[in-house]
Structure 1
Amino acid sequence: MTMTPPTFKEPTYENVYIGETFGPVELVLDDFFLRSYAYALDDYSGMKIIDGLAKPVGPVPPHMIVSDLMQIFLTVYDRDKVVGLHQKEEVIHYKAVPVGTKLTLTGTYVDKYMKRGKGYTVLESIARDEQGDIVILQRSTEVMRIPQGVKVGTGLAEPDRRVTPRELAGERADSISATTPVGTALRAVTKQVRQAQMSVFTGAEFHKQGIHTNLEIARKAGLRDCIAQGMMESCWASQYLSSLFGQTFLSTGCHFSTYLMPIYPKDVITINGVVTSSEPVEGGQRVEVEYWLTNQDDQTTAVGYGSAIC
């Protein structure tokens, strides 16, 4: 019997409509899932070496879930024809989940608009656990296709809030608590961008081809090389905040990132941050951090802010 392959929609701004829904899709947070993202993000915070093998320990790092959540639209749109640029990412964490949890993912296009000749789409997606509780909510803003005449790498996104990279003098804090003073400089984290990790993160398991994995496609889109997904920078920022806030970030944390310019294989990205506010709320003190990512040439590739209750 001949099987008819599924028909996918062309990933264009015109084809997106507000109210379009995706899912439900099941995502099992098993050992393989965790190891794949640990490699792709160079983040072994949820792993421990036992008898020479990497074994999951503790809750699943939340940023490992968000990438699958954001890509839920690819259940309907052709993954190999996406030539867009991720602009902004907002993530809210509600609940920590253990390894082995089965999540249900759903998504909806909640907005689309034209601005300066570019068509923007806004996707809101939710991950729920087996009890029906929300684990993560995310909103992604994306330009579905790189418009003709737009030079990639000149800063397409416009931050909703100005975050200014600055020189941080003095000692750096390794963690954040309810008593951490506003103005505290936070330790830096460095990430090496590698094509192998970009490909695993983007979907090598599913043979996904595009500007993140295929050099020919990237150059046809006007890029000098493949570019890393903007979501990788959001995941690094989430990892950064998780390491500073600790477990509380998994259930009370949120962060908002804006991508300013592409990052390429062999780039070295440094994340810096500073505590910018601290306000009493129900359950403790909500402490906020501004962060920024810069490459080896001191160019700012992304900025953002995040917070959690301590």
Structure 2
Amino acid sequence: MTMQLPIEGQDFASRPRAMTRERMRWYVDAQATAVANDGKPRFGGPTIHDDDDYARAQGLPGIIADGMVSTNWMLALLVDTFGPAAATVGRLRTKYVHPVYEDDVLISRAKVMAVTPDEAGHRIALDIRCETLDGTPVTVGEAEVLLPHG
């Protein structure tokens, strides 16, 4: 994939995506299935990610999304923008700063902070975040993508 070299200050954004109860549940069940590691689907819970009563008992208004959902959406923006190498030779660090509730609509955004040439290509340093439609950040971080020469 050949792309035009981005410039410092350039912004990229994903399409808006809704956080559904079903999507939130997938992460709980995926974790339980991975832990079991027996080839059979497992169902986790109760957790703050899938059980409203349990979440309320922990002081939340209802279930919240696992932070990995927003992190995955941020990685998807990088892959959509820069190609698959963003997931294999890039890096992404995130911090969860605000809960994501059922039916929140989120947008992932990345801003180019620096473009640095090196022997392998150009390293693109980005500030990246996932936010609600009103601009409230829910996950923030930094990323680096290598765009090879050619």
TM-score, normalised to structure 2's length?
0.82
Give the 3 Å change call, closer, same or farther, for CA 297–180 of structure 1 in structure 2.
Answer: closer
Bigger mean CA deviation after superposition, 176-185 or 228-237: 176-185
Structure 1 CA distance for aligned equivalents of residues 3 and 122 of structure 2: 8
Deviation of 1:281 (Å): 2.3
The one-letter code sitting in structure 1 at the alignment partner of 2:143 is G
Indicate the structure with greater helix content.
2
In the alignment, the residues of structure 2 paired with residue 250 and residue 283 of structure 1 have an alpha-carbon distance, to the nearest angstrom, of: 16
CA contact (8 A) 2:49 2:64 kept: yes
Cα offset, 1:232, TM superposition: 0.8
Distance in structure 2 (CA, Å) of the matches to 1:242 and 1:230: 19
Say if 2:118 is the partner of 1:275: no
User: Is 1:208 aligned to 2:44, yes or no?
Assistant: yes
Q: Is the 8 A contact 1:178 1:284 kept in 2?
A: no
Matched, 1:199 2:35: no
Tell me which amino acid in the other structure corresponds to 1:288: A
Cα distance 1:188–1:251, how it changes in 2: closer, same or farther (>3 A)?
closer
Q: Which secondary structure does the structure 1 equivalent of 2:138 belong to?
A: strand
The CA distance in 2 between the partners of 1:176 and 1:216, in whole Å, is: 50
In structure 2, relative to structure 1, the CA distance for the partners of 1:309 and 1:178 (3 Å cut) is farther
Q: Are residues 1:290 and 2:127 paired?
A: yes
Q: Which moved more, 1:241-250 or 1:215-224?
A: 241-250
Report 1:234-249 matches (<5 A).
Answer: 234-249=71-86
- Cα deviations by residue, 1:160-187 (Å, 9 ceiling, x for unpaired): xxxxxxxxxxxxxxx9946221111213
Does the alignment pair 1:262 with 2:104?
A: no
C-alpha distance in structure 1 between counterparts of 2:49 and 2:25, whole Å: 7
CA change 1:245–1:288 in 2 (3 A) is same
- Structure with larger RCO (C-alpha < 8 A, sep 6+): 2
Contact 2:108-2:130 at 8 Å conserved across structures: yes
- Asked whether the equivalents of residues 176 and 244 of structure 1 are also in contact (C-alpha less than 8 Å), the reply is no
What secondary structure is seen at the aligned counterpart in 1 of 2:92?
Answer: strand
> Identity over aligned residues, as a percent?
23
Q: For residues 260-308 of structure 1, what are the alpha-carbon distances to aligned partners after superposition, in whole Å with 9 as ceiling and x for unaligned?
A: 1100101011112211111122311111221222213332111111111
The change in CA–CA distance for 1:296 and 1:176 in structure 2 (over 3 A counts) is: farther
In the alignment, the residues of structure 1 paired with residue 132 and residue 114 of structure 2 have an alpha-carbon distance, to the nearest angstrom, of 26
Instruction: Map 1:21-60 onto structure 2 (within 5 A).
Output: none
Corresponding residue for 2:87? 250
Say whether residues 1:307 and 2:144 are aligned partners: yes
User: How does the TM-score come out when normalised to structure 1?
Assistant: 0.41
The 5-angstrom pairing of residues 141-152 of structure 1 reads: none
Q: Is the 8 A contact 1:190 1:268 kept in 2?
A: yes
Per-residue CA deviation, residues 95-141 of structure 1 (Å, 9 max, x unaligned), is xxxxxxxxxxxxxxxxxxxxxxxxxxxxxxxxxxxxxxxxxxxxxxx
| Amino acid corresponding to residue 190 of structure 1 in structure 2 | P
Q: Distance in 1 between matches of 2:13 and 2:48?
A: 32
Structure-2 separation of matches of 1:304 and 1:222: 26
- Compute the RMSD of aligned alpha carbons: 1.9
Q: CA deviation at 1:200?
A: 1.2
